[in-house]
Amino acid sequence: MNKILDTISGPQDLKKLSPEDLAKLANEVRAYILEVVSKNGGHLSANLGVVELTLALHYVFDAPRDKIIWDVGHQCYTHKIITGRREQFRGLRRSGGILGFPSRKESEFDTYNTGHASTALSAALGMAVARDKKKEDYRVIAVVGDGSLTGGMAWEALNQIGHLREKLIVVLNDNEMSISPSVGALSKYLAYLASGQYYLRIKDHAKSILKSIPRLGWPMIKAGRAVEDLVKKTFFPGLLFEELGLRYIGPVQGHSLGSLIEVFEQAKQYEVGPVLIHCVTRKGRGYAPAVDNPEHFHGASPFDVRTGEPAAPNGKASFSKVFGRTMVKLGKADDRVIAITAAMLEGTGLADFAHEFPERFFDVGIAEQHAVNFAAGLALSGFKPVCAIYSTFLQRAYDQVYHDVCLQDLPVVFALDRAGIVPDDGPTHQGLNDIAYLRHMPNMVLMAPRDENELQHMLKAALSYGHPVAIRFPKGKVTGASVDAEFKDFPLGRSELLKDGTDLLLAYGGLVYPALEAAKKLEEDGLSFAVVDAKFAKPLDEEMILRFARAGRTIMTAEEGIVAGGFGSAVREFLDRQRIFNIRFKAIGLPLEIYPVGKASQIKKMFRLDPAGLVEQIKEFCRQD
Ligand SMILES: Cc1ncc(C[n+]2csc(CCOP(=O)(O)OP(=O)(O)O)c2C)c(N)n1
């Protein structure tokens, strides 16, 4: 049977469909998303939850003239499929394929690039102001999840949206979930609104007021509808969003195409200011394993559609898992240890700690900046907070790390997961900048383990240094190193010589083992390099560096991060301070680029950070004179 989806080459084709065909299309889109994500991996739950919402938006509005901005952007699959990328969608997240997030380079329908949460409302307001200044006429629509609404930036935007009162539509996609269940007072408030209890309560309240009006009151109550109108008009301004200056419409059943189309039409007609439409959806809708376990299918690896089981066995543990396990050990040994996550309970590996020590675990929502200052307050008061935040997301809290933690020299430990090359998600999720953005922070200690054993020792040591410490480790499986049963001493700023040689290859974190492999290969070609595991980017092991530098040896550094301002730059600056200018030096790492989507191994190969690539780079350098 012919598929309706095959006839959709753009949103204009949707507008020709009958309600029945639109509903059929929703099913087909769902099946297609499931088919592709089960093979390529991807953000399944969020995407299955917004199929109707996306179809209704494109049915009512006129993209790309009307601008739709997706907050986070991980829920844009239906949007991509029906805006001319149906076939390309098969290459989702694959090297050379399309991105799992909106990309202006990819399509004119993607009006704003996203990847990090809570950015859409600000950008939408900027676009709405620009539209009015240029006297243009189109709609700006921001779609934001309840999880992303926990981010401070969303509220900074709402503050100005309510103030400026631009014509702007906010679609709140409320599925009661961030990646894990949404947390905090706001989520309780939204749940209360979504449940309709608020409405029922004020309706009763309205009735009792009406009853007290002589003669007129009872007839109005009997008129029923009139009560509802009166309630809406009289009492809904009391809602949080209305108070902020946005017209609130909802809650709307977010899987009913008819209801969605009706409210979007209503919002489209609204000419006098910002509107917020509260849609209630279900993550994973239409696929039972994802409905039952939306967290697991948030960012899914390839899986068997029939069973929902992973396509490949899980194999070795991840660094996140080892981090989580070590946190439990440390939490048992010291009741001042506190774990903090910004909405990444599972991703950071903290679920066991949360289970074991619920009173010492805090999920603050998608609020990295707040997480850092919350930790600062705890550290100031004698606790030992560990903030587990992905490298890419800590970028957001740069000033809090600097102004609040480092200037006050507070012992907060930052566990930077997903540091280095990050697979599948594309440029917004790369963890390549943390060395550079933390290295110039006063009092900050920077470490990176070469394997899981070192990670556990570093974490234990970090809690004892009495300074801010950031430990970076990669996404992915551990190396298989043997893990000591007991913690051992980890002297601050001391590196480790792993292989002796004439010249020095000083490697940091995830590049230590590839550097060792490369050095062995280089021996066969007559080049002798000592390999040192730097362990620290700050403070550096100056003694070790000077040993080679003073002997006039070549020094090369290797790191999985942007070279500008990174680990190699630190070594170069140290040599300059020592007035050692006459040795050959090169920092190997990554150039400033927008990194493509692909597997980590593909990207490493492309940028020559795998052992073979390191051999090539070192040989090329040694050949130059
Ligand atoms: C600044 C930032 N922190 C963390 C994340 C990781 N993250 C991706 S999606 C997501 C949950 C978003 O929840 P919500 O906005 O409700 O969307 P849903 O997945 O429920 O549709 C999180 C925490 C991120 N993208 N950006």
Instruction: Express each pLDDT in 320-334 by its tens digit.
Output: 999 999 999 999 999
pTM to 2 decimals?
0.93
| Among protein residues, the one whose CA lies closest to atom 21 of ligand 1 | 46
- Is the Cβ atom of 559 under 6 angstroms away from ligand 1? no
Task: Please check whether residue 576 lies inside any domain of the structure.
Answer: yes
Quick one: CA dihedral 341, 347, 350, 351, positive or negative?
A: positive
Residue 237 above 50 pLDDT? no
DSSP calls for 241-309: HHHTT-EEEEEEETT-HHHHHHHHHHHHH--SSEEEEEEE--TTTT-HHHHH-TTTTTSBPSB-TTT--
pLDDT band at 516 (very low <50, low <70, confident <90, very high): very high
- Residue 299 forms part of a structural domain: no
- HEC string for 415-460: EECCCECCCCCCHHHCECCHHHHHHCCCCCEEECCCCHHHHHHHHH
Question: Span 298-325, mean pLDDT?
Answer: 93
Ligand 1 touching residue 178 (CB < 6 A): yes
Range of the domain at 527: 496-623
Of the candidates 322, 333, 349, the one whose C-alpha atom is nearest the C-alpha of residue 463 is 333
Residues 230 and 103 in one domain: yes
Rounded to an integer, the average pLDDT of 550-570 is 98
Least confidently predicted of 113-127, 170-184, 540-554: 170-184
Give pLDDT, residue 219. 55
Q: Ligand 1: which atom is nearest the Cα of residue 151?
A: 1
* Burial of 413 per CB tally in 10 Å (0-12, 13-18, 19+): buried
Same domain, 522 and 438: no
The CB of 46 under 6 Å from ligand 1? The reply is yes
State mean pLDDT over 529-544. 98
**Averaged pLDDT, 449-461:** 98
Could you report the per-residue pLDDT of 265-297, keeping only the tens digit for each?
999 999 989 999 999 999 999 999 999 999 999
Distance 72 CA to ligand 1 centre (A): 6
Å from CA of 39 to ligand 1 middle: 23
Residue 618 structure tokens:
């070192």
pLDDT category of residue 156 using cuts at 50, 70 and 90: very high
What value does the mean pLDDT take over residues 62-68?
Answer: 98
209 pLDDT more than 70: no
Indicate whether 467 and 606 sit together in one domain.
no
Average pLDDT over residues 208-219: 55
Is 245 in the same domain as 334? no
Residue 275 and residue 393 in one domain: no
Residue 602 and residue 535 share a domain: yes
More confident residue, 515 or 198: 515
Shared domain check, 349 and 224: no
Structure-token pair, residue 326: 């070590």
| 34 assigned to some structural domain | yes
- Residue-wise pLDDT for 105-123, tens only, equals 999 999 999 999 999 999 9
Stronger pLDDT, 92 or 204, i.e. the higher one: 92
- 147 close to ligand 1 (CB < 6 Angstrom): yes
Confidence label for 238 from pLDDT (cuts 50, 70 and 90): very low
The three state secondary structure string of 372-401 is HHHHHHHHHCCCEEEEECCHHHHHHHHHHH
Task: Please answer whether residues 411 and 384 qualify as being in contact, where contact means their C-beta atoms are separated by less than 8 angstroms.
Answer: yes
Assess whether the C-beta atom of 179 lies below 6 angstroms from ligand 1.
yes
Distance CA 290, CA 355 (A): 23
Selection from 511, 483, 485 nearest residue 498 by Cα: 511
Based on the fold, state whether residues 227 and 323 are members of the same structural domain.
no
| Distance in Å, CA 234 to ligand 1 centroid | 35
Strands 413-416 and 469-472: parallel
- pLDDT higher for 479 or 316? 479
**Cα distance between residue 284 and residue 289, in whole Å:** 8
Question: Based on the domain organization, do 401 and 505 belong to the same domain?
Answer: no
Determine the average pLDDT of the residues in 8-26: 97
List the structure tokens of 164: 């400026």
Q: What is the pLDDT of residue 554?
A: 98
Residues classed as catalytic: 283, 368, 396
| pLDDT given for residue 366 in this prediction | 97
Look at residue 207 and tell me whether its pLDDT is greater than 50.
yes
pLDDT over 90, % of the chain: 87
To test the pocket of ligand 1, the residue of 116, 156, 366, 395 to mutate (highest count of ligand atoms within 8 Å of its CB) is 366
Distance (Å, rounded) from C-alpha 496 to C-alpha 536? Answer: 10
| pLDDT for residue 161 is more than 90 | yes
Tell me the average pLDDT of the chain: 93
The secondary structure element, H or E, covering residue 26 is: helix 19-40
82 shares its domain with 228? yes
Number of domains, the chain: 3
* 284 in the same domain as 338: no
- Residue reference for tokens 């899914």: 300
Same domain, 468 and 501: no
pLDDT of 202 higher than 80: no
